[in-house]
């Protein structure tokens, strides 16, 4: 991608990201969700766009991160079984120091545990190719939600509540806004860096032809597992943040929202253009803004609209916005059109 | 354990599993057909089933016996399947595999939500007013379940005969073997695909109509039927009708058992767990086939 083009986008987004909570104080949490969406799309694209492994169950790591975070946040200072039995925050209070210590450790551990889970699962899941992989991961995420809903120790179906933020509501939303924004920026920088390295090339090689890549000496399973772990690490962190924003973690709707966030991340990436760096970002911003603005006017038809959007996107507009731009103006992206000579 | 104390209770569980498993097998056969012939993985399979169920249930609320819903569901779903093929499936058929998967997933969302908007999110069952018989003392068997089981068998038989004997069935099998060769031989493969997809929708509709009478339907139950179909087809392999039937019946019984032993909330988890098990198991099998060069 052209450097010039990238900088034109970097700067306004950074400025907007920092200024947004002060410009629109009432919408801080909506904007925080926007950055989580950007993160989702970016991490999904590592797998789906760059490596050609279309996972429908990446949301699994969102739930893993969320539960890990709350378990570390609570578990350091209280017995979790007693905590969930008492339904959380009412009878247990955390001091400021305890809260922040828990939060920091919880966020870090959520990423680490999610990445380790991905690495462990990778050994079984990556034997699956194409549609089997998609369905297998989808099944995994659904099963995780169902099983978490039966586990009494973490609150079963009624969920587990996150420690209450010690400060004002404004400070809370500001803190989590910037955490989400920071996580999204971190993800973007990391992903941008990865795509420039040998690792990125190897991952692309797996997408283009896995057998050939293996024949060229790329240890595909290792690359796939690492790519999935990277993806899971960031999704896990976003899970920790989102769990703290919602305040109560319920297994089916909040922690493992397979049919909402799990599908959004795919839809957003496809809308923006998979396999590109900026596509997921643009797709997520566009999708989330449209959704937030129009969602309430649909009166129950919003899900139908979402489904139709997915169908139309997949069937008629598969290359996405970035892909379309690249086709239309290849010169702007530093792509040299080689067959110009031939057509003359 | 009640299962050990009252062994006859096992019969109850097995029978119920068998009856429901027959409908699973029917839906899975439709999936195997579409998968094998068109290489389209239809994630909206379960939603076709639920749609058929709502057709029968809706007729029931209009004062018509839900058994009439069976032929109606077959006809309506056949037309619906044709419409879906023309608008969506035709365009994704020769794209990469994930496209068809995602497109049908979008379709699944649309169908489930439309059903939800039209009929509400309540769990429904169509009243067929058949007697419930007692056999072996405590085991109860609803007559409608037996009837549905027999109808499932007859339907499967009809489809098999159709595939073997009719011109269209032969064309479908030829296309499945080699689409290009079939086209060269003058078979209109587009029409064959359309017919296959519609036939699948009709089979699903029939299974759904049965399910609405012997069990319960709800707009969002579709995805679990889709996953069941995938479990069955991946376990049995497509083009293997006896395997599909056995896997379907087995899944029904296994689900019933685990639902009873572990609790109803594990029933869905069992299906998904089985899917993962089947996938891992097949993978181990494939790994054996792989030659290790060191």
pLDDT in tens, A210-256: 888 888 888 888 899 999 999 999 999 999 999 888 888 888 788 88
Domains belonging to chain B, first-starting first, are: 2-289 (1.10.3470)
Mutate to test the interface with A, among B272, B274, B290 (most CBs of A within 10 A): B272
Q: What is the pLDDT of residue A343?
A: 45
Q: What is the pLDDT of residue A190?
A: 92
> Residue A180's pLDDT band (boundaries 50, 70, 90)?
very high
Q: What is the pLDDT of residue A231?
A: 93
Mutate to test the interface with B, among A56, A58, A315 (most CBs of B within 10 A): A315
For the entire predicted model, the pTM comes to 0.83
Among A234, A211, A222, A272, smallest CA distance to A49 is for A272
Considering only the beta carbons, identify the residue of B101, B110, B223 that sits closest to A131.
Answer: B101
The contacts of residue B23 (CB under 8 Å, 6+ apart) are B49, B148, B152, B207, B210, B211, B214
A151 at interface of B, judged by CB pairs closer than 8 A:
no
3-class secondary structure per residue, B212-235: HHHCCECHHHHHHHHHHHHHHHHH
- B148/B144 Cα distance (integer angstroms): 6
- Asked if B265 lies within 8 A of A266 by C-beta distance, the reply is no
- Listed by number, the residues of chain A in 47-86 with a beta carbon closer than 8 Å to a beta carbon of chain B are 54, 56
- A226/A209 Cα distance (integer angstroms): 18
Residue A297 tokens read as 């006017």
A336 vs A2, A4, A82, A229, A323, CA distance in Å?
12, 16, 64, 34, 15
Question: Are B22 and B206 a contacting pair, CB within 8 Å?
Answer: no
Among B229, B207, B180, smallest CA distance to B33 is for B229
| Range ranked top by mean pLDDT from A107-111, A324-328, B239-243 | A107-111
Residue B116 tokens read as 């939800």
Question: Are B204 and B30 a contacting pair, CB within 8 Å?
Answer: yes
Q: How far is CA A54 from the centre of its chain?
A: 14
Task: Note down pLDDT in tens along chain B; length 294 residues.
Answer: 666 666 777 777 888 888 888 888 888 988 888 888 888 888 889 999 999 999 988 888 888 888 888 899 999 999 999 999 998 888 888 777 778 888 888 899 899 889 988 888 888 887 777 767 766 666 777 788 888 888 888 998 898 899 889 999 999 888 888 888 988 988 888 899 999 999 999 999 999 998 888 888 888 888 888 888 888 888 887 667 788 888 888 888 888 888 777 777 677 778 878 877 887 787 777 777 766 554
Residues of B in contact with A214 (CB under 8 A): none
Considering only the beta carbons, identify the residue of A132, A142, A308 that sits closest to B110.
Answer: A308
Residues of A in contact with B99 (CB under 8 A): 314-315, 318
Residues of B in contact with A147 (CB under 8 A): 269
- Asked if A143 lies within 8 A of B272 by C-beta distance, the reply is yes
**Average pLDDT of span A141-151:** 82
Among A332, A336, A236, smallest CA distance to A278 is for A332
* Pairing, β B132-135 against β B139-142: antiparallel
- Listed by number, the residues of chain A in 154-173 with a beta carbon closer than 8 Å to a beta carbon of chain B are 157
Q: How does the average pLDDT of chain A come out, rounded?
A: 82
Q: Does the pLDDT of residue A88 top 70, yes or no?
A: no
**Average pLDDT of span A55-75:** 88
The contacts of residue B116 (CB under 8 Å, 6+ apart) are A303, B219, B220
Residue A89 tokens read as 């925050």
Question: Are B253 and B21 a contacting pair, CB within 8 Å?
Answer: yes
Residues of A in contact with B269 (CB under 8 A): 143, 146-147, 150
In angstroms, the separation between the Cα of residue A301 and the nearest Cα of chain B is 8
- A184/A13 Cα distance (integer angstroms): 11
A311 at interface of B, judged by CB pairs closer than 8 A:
yes
Residues of B with CB under 8 A from a CB of A: 41, 43, 88, 91-92, 95, 97-99, 101-103, 105-110, 112-114, 116-117, 223, 227, 230, 234, 263, 265-266, 268-269, 272-273, 275-276, 279-280, 283, 286-287
Residue A100: CB atoms within 10 A of its CB come to 14
> Residue A342's pLDDT band (boundaries 50, 70, 90)?
very low
Find the residue in A nearest to B101 (Cα).
A131
Residue A188 tokens read as 């973007």
At which residue do the structure tokens 């619906």 appear? Answer: B80
- Asked if B110 lies within 8 A of A266 by C-beta distance, the reply is no
Burial of B132 (0-12, 13-18, 19+ CB in 10 A): exposed
Residue B285 tokens read as 């099998």
Residue of A211 and A91 predicted with greater confidence: A211
Q: What is the pLDDT of residue B84?
A: 92
At which residue do the structure tokens 């027959």 appear? Answer: B22
- B100/A9 Cα distance (integer angstroms): 33
Residue A80: CB atoms within 10 A of its CB come to 15
Residue A226 tokens read as 């690492």
- B60/B68 Cα distance (integer angstroms): 9
- A205/A5 Cα distance (integer angstroms): 26
A44 vs A127, A230, A235, CA distance in Å?
19, 10, 9
- Asked if B92 lies within 8 A of A315 by C-beta distance, the reply is yes
Question: Are B174 and B191 a contacting pair, CB within 8 Å?
Answer: no
Question: Are B101 and A265 a contacting pair, CB within 8 Å?
Answer: no
Considering only the beta carbons, identify the residue of B99, B273, B286 that sits closest to A314.
Answer: B99
A148 at interface of B, judged by CB pairs closer than 8 A:
no
Residues of B in contact with A131 (CB under 8 A): 41, 97-98, 101
Residues of A in contact with B35 (CB under 8 A): none
Residue B89 tokens read as 């499936």
In angstroms, the separation between the Cα of residue A134 and the nearest Cα of chain B is 8
Start-to-end C-alpha separation, chain A: 27
- Asked if B114 lies within 8 A of A314 by C-beta distance, the reply is no
3-class secondary structure per residue, chain A: CCHHHHHHHHHHHHHHHHHHHHHCHHHHHHHHHHHHHHHHHHHHHHHHHHHCCCCCCCHHHHHHHHHHHHHHHHHCCCCHHHHHHCCCCCCCCCCHHHHHHHHHHHHHHHHHHHHHHHHHHHHHHCCCCHHHHHHHHHHHHHHHHHHHCCCHHHCHHHCEECCCCCCCHHHHHHHHHHHHHHHHHHHHHHHHHHHHCHHHHHHHHHHHCHHHHHHCCCCHHHHHHHHHHHHHHHHHHHHHHHHHHHCEECHHHHHCCCCCHHHHHHHHHHHHCCCCCHHHHHHHHHHHHHHHHHHHHCCCCHHHHHHHHHHHHHHHCCCHHHHHHHHHCHHHHCCCCCCHHHHC
Per-domain boundaries in chain A: 3-343
Q: What is the pLDDT of residue A186?
A: 92
- Listed by number, the residues of chain A in 86-105 with a beta carbon closer than 8 Å to a beta carbon of chain B are none
> Residue A344's pLDDT band (boundaries 50, 70, 90)?
very low
Residues of B in contact with A215 (CB under 8 A): none
Question: Are B140 and B77 a contacting pair, CB within 8 Å?
Answer: no
Residues of A in contact with B98 (CB under 8 A): 54, 130-131, 134
DSSP string, chain B: -HHHH-THHHHHHHHHHHHHHHHHHHHHHHHHHHHHHH----TTHHHHHHHHHHHHHHHHHTTS-GGGHHHHHHHHHHHHHHHHIIIIIHHHTTS-HHHHHHHHHHHHHHHHHHHHHHH-S--B-------EEEETTTEEEEHHHHHHHHHHHHHHHHHHHHHHHSHHHHHHHHHHH-HHHHHHTT--HHHHHHHHHHHHHHHHHHHHHHHHHHS-B-GGGHHHHHHHHHHHHHHH-TT-HHHHHHHHHHHHHHHHHHHHHH-GGGHHHHHHHHHHHHHHHHHHHHHHHSPP--
Residues of B in contact with A146 (CB under 8 A): 265-266, 268-269, 272
Find the residue in A nearest to B92 (Cα).
A315
Buried b (16+ CB within 10 A) or exposed e, B55-75: bbbbbbeeeeebbebbebbbe
Q: What is the pLDDT of residue B250?
A: 87
Q: Write phi, then psi, for A160 (nearest 5 degrees).
A: -130, 140
Residues of B in contact with A263 (CB under 8 A): 105, 109
């Amino acid at each position: 991608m052209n450097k010039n083009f990238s900088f034109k986008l970097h700067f306004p987004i950074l400025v907007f990201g920092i200024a947004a909570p002060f410009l629109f104080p009432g919408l801080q949490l909506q904007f925080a969700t926007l950055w989580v969406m950007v993160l989702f799309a970016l991490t999904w694209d590592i797998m789906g766009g760059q490596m050609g492994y279309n996972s429908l169950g990446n949301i699994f790591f969102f739930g893993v991160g969320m539960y890990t975070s709350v378990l570390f946040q609570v578990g350091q200072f209280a017995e979790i079984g007693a905590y969930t039995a008492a339904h959380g925050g009412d009878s247990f209070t955390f001091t400021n120091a305890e809260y922040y210590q828990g939060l920091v450790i919880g966020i870090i551990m959520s990423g680490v545990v999610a990445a380790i889970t991905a690495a462990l699962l990778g050994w079984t899941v990556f034997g699956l190719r194409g549609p089997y992989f998609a369905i297998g991961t989808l099944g995994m995420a659904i099963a995780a939600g169902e099983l978490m809903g039966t586990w009494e120790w973490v609150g079963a179906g009624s969920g587990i509540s996150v420690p209450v933020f010690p400060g004002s509501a404004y400070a809370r939303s500001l803190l989590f806004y910037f955490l989400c924004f920071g996580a999204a920026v971190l993800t973007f920088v990391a992903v941008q860096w990865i795509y420039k390295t040998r690792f990125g090339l190897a991952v692309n090689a797996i997408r283009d032809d896995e057998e050939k890549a293996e024949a060229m000496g790329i240890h595909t399973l290792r690359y796939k597992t690492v790519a999935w772990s990277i993806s899971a690490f960031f999704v896990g962190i976003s899970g920790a943040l989102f769990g703290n924003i919602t305040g109560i973690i319920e297994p089916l709707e909040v922690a493992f929202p397979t049919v909402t966030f799990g599908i959004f991340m795919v839809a957003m990436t496809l809308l923006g253009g998979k396999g590109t760096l900026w596509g997921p970002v643009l797709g997520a911003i566009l999708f989330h803004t449209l959704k937030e603005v129009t969602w309430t006017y649909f009166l129950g038809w919003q899900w139908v609209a979402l489904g139709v959007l997915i169908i139309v996107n997949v069937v008629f507009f598969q290359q996405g916005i970035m892909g379309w731009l690249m086709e239309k103006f290849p010169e702007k992206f530093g792509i040299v059109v080689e067959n110009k000579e031939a057509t003359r | 354990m009640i299962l050990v104390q009252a062994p006859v209770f096992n019969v109850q569980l097995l029978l119920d599993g068998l009856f429901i498993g027959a409908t699973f097998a029917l839906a899975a056969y439709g999936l195997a057909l579409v998968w094998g012939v068109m290489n389209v993985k239809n994630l909206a399979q379960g939603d076709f089933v639920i749609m058929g169920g709502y057709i029968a249930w809706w007729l029931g609320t209009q004062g018509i016996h839900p058994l009439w819903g069976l032929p109606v569901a077959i006809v309506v779903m056949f037309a619906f399947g044709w419409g879906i093929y023309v608008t969506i499936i035709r365009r994704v058929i020769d794209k990469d595999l994930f496209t068809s998967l995602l497109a049908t997933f979008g379709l699944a969302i649309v169908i489930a939500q439309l059903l939800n908007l039209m009929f509400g999110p309540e769990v429904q069952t169509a009243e067929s007013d058949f007697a419930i018989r007692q056999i072996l003392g405590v085991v109860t068997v609803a007559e409608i379940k037996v009837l549905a089981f027999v109808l499932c068998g007859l339907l499967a038989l009809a489809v098999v005969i159709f595939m073997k004997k009719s011109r269209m069935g032969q064309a479908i099998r030829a296309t499945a073997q080699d689409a290009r060769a079939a086209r060269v031989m003058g078979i209109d493969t587009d029409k064959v695909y359309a017919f296959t997809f519609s036939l699948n929708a009709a089979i699903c509709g029939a299974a759904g109509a049965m399910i609405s009478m012997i069990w319960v339907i709800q707009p969002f139950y579709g995805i679990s039927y889709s996953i069941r179909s995938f479990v069955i087809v991946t376990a049995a392999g497509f083009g293997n009708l006896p395997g599909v039937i056995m896997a379907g019946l087995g899944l029904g019984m296994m689900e019933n058992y685990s639902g009873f032993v572990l609790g109803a909330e594990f029933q869905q988890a069992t299906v998904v767990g089985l899917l993962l098990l089947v996938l891992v198991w097949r993978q181990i099998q494939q790994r054996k086939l792989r030659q290790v060069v060191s």
